[in-house]
Amino acid sequence: MQQTFPISDQELEALSTNAVNSVFNTMLNQTAVVQEVIKVDEENYDGGMSVPIDSSEPVIAGTVGFLGNLTGIMYIFMELSLAMDATCELLGLEAEEIGYEDHELVNDAIGELTNMIVGTFKNDLSNKGYECRMTIPSILRGSNFSIEPAEVALRRIYKYDCGGRSFVIDVLMKEEN
């Protein structure tokens, strides 16, 4: 039986976009626009689902969870070249100063961007009366990601365009009784 979720789709998209743009505008001087929204509910859920990111190169995924009245997890997926550009902008460095091999620094930068995005999202939830705590960010690298979530009431995948390049925010959450 599907749980009725207390936040509407419209509100959730606004929360996600506000979180993304608050971080992108402040830290990267960029703006992102929603290109596509994929709704995954219990009714149409049929197992693991590939992340809709257009990339022939490795993808980096940052993830932070939140626990409280609302419990869930947010992922940000982006191709490695976009992650490199974001790291350079964030730290005021040139690409040569980082290098594709410096996984640690790029991982850390994407982890921190994810932390800020989820933090903003979580703070907006808090202002709506849903108090929760965040987990420490973690990072995954690879290709052809497929997320097979544990039991959740709601999953929304937002594909954003940022200066002609795309990245994905995947939100999975449920309300705790």
Partner 1 sequence: MRLKILTVDDSKTVRIIVKKSFKGFDCEITEAQNGVEGLAMAAKVDPDIILLDITMPVMDGVEMLTKLKSDPSLKAIPVIMLTAEAGRENVMKIAKIGVRDYIVKPFKEEVLVDKVSRVVDLRPAGEAEPKQKKIDDPIEVLVVDDKPAIIEQIKQGFSHTPWNVNGVSSTGEAIDFCQKKLPDCIIISLSLPEDAAITLFRIIRSNAKTKYVPLFGLSVKTAVEEQHRAQQAGFSTIIHKPIDFDELENKIGKAVNLDTSGKYFQMADGFMTVRLPKTCNASVVQEVGNYLKEKTSEAVNSGISKIIFDAQEVASLNMDVIKLLLQSMKTCRDLSLSYALAGNAVVRDESKKFEESKDWQFCDSVETAKASL
Q: Determine, following the binding rule CB under 8 A, whether residue 115 of this chain makes contact with partner 1.
A: yes
Q: Determine, following the binding rule CB under 8 A, whether residue 3 of this chain makes contact with partner 1.
A: no
> Is the CB of residue 35 less than 8 Å from the CB of residue 129?
no
Q: In 3D, which of 94, 95, 88, 101 has the Cα closest to residue 141?
A: 101
Q: How far is the CB of 16 from partner 1 (least distance, A)?
A: 15
CA atoms of 162 and 82, how far apart (whole Å): 10
CA atoms of 21 and 10, how far apart (whole Å): 16
> Is the CB of residue 77 less than 8 Å from the CB of residue 25?
no
Q: Determine, following the binding rule CB under 8 A, whether residue 1 of this chain makes contact with partner 1.
A: no
Q: Determine, following the binding rule CB under 8 A, whether residue 109 of this chain makes contact with partner 1.
A: yes
Residue from 108, 141, 149, 161 binding partner 1 (CB under 8 A): 108
Q: Given the rule CB under 8 A, which residues bind partner 1? A: 22-23, 26-27, 87, 90-92, 104-105, 108-109, 111-112, 115-116, 118-120, 122-123, 126, 131, 133-134, 136
